[in-house]
Amino acid sequence: MAKKKKEAKVINYAPIVYQPITETIEKNYMPYVMSVIVSRAIPEIDGLKPAHRKLLYTMYKMGLLTGGRTKSANIVGQTMKLNPHGDASIYETMVRLTRGNATLLHPLVDSKGSFGKQYSSDMKYAASRYTECKLDPICGELFSGIDKNAVDMVDNYDATLKEPVLLPTTFPNVLVMPNMGIAVGMASNICSFNLAEICDGTIALLRKPNLSVEKMMEIVKAPDFSGGGAIIYDREQMRQIYETGQGSVKIRARYVFDKDANCIDIVEIPYSTTIELIMAKLTALYKDGKLKEVTDFRDEIDLSGFKLTLDIRKGVDPDKLMTKLYKLTPLEDNFKCNFNVLIDSVPRTMGMIEILTEWIRFRLGCLRREMAYDLQKKKDRLHLLLALGKILLDIDKAIRIIRKTEKDEDVVPNLMKGFEIDEVQANFIADIKLRNLNREYILNRIADIEDLQKEIAEMEDILSDEIKQKSLIIDQLTAIKKKYGQPRRSLIVHADTVTEYKEADQFVNYPARFVLTKEGYFKKITFQSLRGNDEQKCKEGDEVAMIMDGENKDDLIFVTDRAQMYRAKADDFETTKASALGDYLPAKLGMDPDEKPILMNIQNSYPEKENFVFLFENGKGVRISAANYVTTGNRRKLTSVFSKTSPPVAAFYEKTPMDLLLVSSENRGIVIKSSLIPQMSTRTSGGVQLIALKKGQKLVSATADLSSLADGAKGLKKLKIPATGVPMDEMK
């Protein structure tokens, strides 16, 4: 049978809809951006991000403000009713708020167990099933009035619970709690300030709303970090931070010198770094030979706190060494401030006075709502007590009305009619127990009427007077300062008293001899070591190429056969003996494979009148002014030092004109003055012909040492270039 042909299947694809990129961003990307900014990364005026607020409120509702600790895993699980982002992120949020982690000046969570440390990236926190937490007592100030309608409450993500939009904190937690957040297109980085100073600054602003920045700087002196350290105080930089909310704070580590053990104990480091970063930099410096003053360093953190110990060599000045380490390691670091805060769901970068002004506005709103709540409660109570007063006039009448009422639902209406009271009052009277329907009980209850009326009048007076409301806030701040205030942890050091690092001050200077071999081995030998033994040991097949005398503070340059120049400090090399091979420069300076040095020189300056002289295999030579090798910055490697057209034969440094012996592959030579070689303005110039060479010939050697020629040098001397070589055999 013939096979039936399969019918083609027709697929109807949805039409392509084109959408402008601007519309895509507006409809798809912008909602995400605003969600990250408003609901995740940027703190609000209470100093908290949503993740912090949801966690703390959950702990508050769990009774952990007054109760005992509970397992962190329990808290994390309960918090997921408000924060669905996962247990790991919730626990990480809680870790940062704990006393054990030491991130905050005033921890919000009282913890038990291992929570890592802010100053260490490797010291990890234990799992939530092993640790326990409760709210720290200072959280009572964050939740004050929250049950009295002080702030708005909203539904959680599935509308099963209510949570606060903000916490009615009674002090400016936004400037006491450090906060960092990265949103989309913006970020926030708020440093912590001393609680007592912030309370004083807020009180001063409450009393004088037009307070100047200068006055605020006198009250709130500088940031204060939980890790301590020393703040290098720059008044203009601090003014910029206080005025604009942006700037940088320089922080240094603090240390003590143990004279007996001859070691430096670093006990506080900048808040913005970690001990791992510091030790990694110390290790790199040690390997590069730039930390010769230190023999060993180690982490000695224990239960007593932070400690990084540096064992130093005998005779090293610890203060000078620390000045060097401040410059070269994160033991001195910058905290970059960006006071970006959400105000009414709008991100704003503000200075300190502006932030405190917004906090005062927020706090006044919380206080008014709390007082309005209390006022209404007192009015409700007064309303009930006034009904009791009417009952007192005729208790028997009240009893008679209740006794004669046949139906239960008629008791309240009959009391309302009999005493001319409303339904709420009638319900209150109807609920009084029979045993309490006596004159003494009722008299005792209505005795509070006069006091209530006075309290209500006072509260109404305060609610109508902003000055009195501010006075209440001042009283609260004064009490908070007295109860929770702490001395500053970060020392303030004025910038003009700080000794800046100068590399020249770090050198232990002494005379030394520098030796370079043809294979690239380098030795730095003290003259004391040379006494009685100046015979230089070399590797088999190697020989000494150059010997120079200088000092340990000298700068050295090494020119290689690959047209590259390497710069180094004499101090970078360890002293050695003449009997040792020395440092292998290609490895020490990181040269390319098979690259070898052809010139060494002490190069503390680059005078225009002094020259580098390069001679090439093609018989050409060039002089280039030393000034052409000056560079900006501290560059350790310079490329394109001379022309690569022909391989180099030799290189010299010319301070004054010198005699040079050039020998070709045909063993023909000339002696010329280096001043005959034209000086070129560019480093890559190919030079001019110095010795005449036939096809296939090349220049094989050049030297400034003419001692082997004796009297024969006269026949080799040439006054013009290019010159024809004289057979070297005739000069013997």
Contact partners, residue 411, CB within 8 Å, separation at least 6: 401, 402, 405, 426, 430
Beta strands 620-625; 679-680: pairing state: parallel
Contact partners, residue 194, CB within 8 Å, separation at least 6: 105, 220, 221, 224, 485, 486, 488
Distance CA 627, CA 365 (A): 70
DSSP 8-state symbol, 36: H
Distance CA 449, CA 454 (A): 9
> Alpha carbon of 342 to those of 43, 197, 389, 479: distances in Å?
6, 23, 51, 28
CB 565 within 8 A of CB 598: no
Nearest to 586 by CA among 491, 519, 486, 506: 519
Distance CA 223, CA 194 (A): 7
Q: 């002080």: which residue's tokens?
A: 150
Distance CA 436, CA 446 (A): 13
Nearest to 288 by CA among 572, 509, 566, 525: 572
What is the residue type of 607?
A: P
Written as six digits, the tokens of 680 are: 């070129």
Query: Is there a catalytic annotation at residue 501?
Result: no
Written as six digits, the tokens of 693 are: 């060479």
Distance CA 727, CA 732 (A): 10
Tell me the H-state helices in 331-408: 352-393, 395-404
H or E element: which one contains 53? helix 50-61
- CA distance between the termini of the chain: 111
Distance CA 97, CA 176 (A): 13
List 29, 130, 157, 510, catalytic entry: 130
Burial 637-670 (b: 16+ CB within 10 A, else e): ebeebbbeebebbbbbbbeeeebbbbbbeeebbb
Beta strands 132-135; 70-71: pairing state: antiparallel
Contact partners, residue 356, CB within 8 Å, separation at least 6: 172, 175, 201, 202, 205
CB 372 within 8 A of CB 463: yes
Contact partners, residue 491, CB within 8 Å, separation at least 6: 228, 229, 230, 231, 254
Distance CA 189, CA 288 (A): 35
Distance CA 664, CA 670 (A): 9
Residues with catalytic annotation? 130
